[in-house]
């Protein structure tokens, strides 16, 4: 995992702002090339905080890497099909309970 992904993930998890090259974390979420790919939601399930994630239309190795740096997220691709935590995924917004 690249250092930038680790730094962005830490900033996202702790609620800090961060900006380096094509990646930015703000109060609104995690952005890659200006596209929001992750955000915290106000939903809580069983005391766990939830996040929303998306590929934002870009199923690229960089997008997947930034998302994979987040706790509870494992995005992969096989034959052009995206998978989230082992299940086929269309890349649209989805809520992850952590």
Q: Work out how many domains the chain is built from and give that number.
A: 1
Which tens digits make up the pLDDT trace of 14-30?
999 999 999 999 999 99
DSSP 52-88: EE--TT---HHHHHHHHTSTT--EEEETTEEEETTEE
Q: Supply the range of the domain harboring residue 33.
A: 3-97
> Considering only CA atoms, which of 46, 50, 30 is closest in space to residue 38?
30
Residue 9 has pLDDT above 70, yes or no: yes
Which tens digits make up the pLDDT trace of 38-95?
998 876 666 677 899 999 999 999 999 999 999 999 999 999 999 999 999 999 999 9
């Amino acid at each position: 995992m690249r250092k930038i992904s680790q730094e962005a993930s830490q900033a996202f998890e702790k609620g800090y702002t961060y900006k380096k090259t094509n990646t930015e974390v703000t109060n609104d979420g995690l952005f890659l090339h200006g596209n929001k790919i992750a955000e915290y939601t106000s939903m809580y399930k069983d005391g766990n905080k939830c996040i929303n994630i998306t590929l934002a239309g870009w199923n690229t190795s960089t997008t997947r890497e930034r998302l994979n740096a987040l706790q509870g997220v494992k995005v992969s691709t096989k034959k052009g099909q995206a998978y989230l935590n082992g299940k086929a995924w269309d890349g649209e917004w989805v809520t992850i309970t952590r």
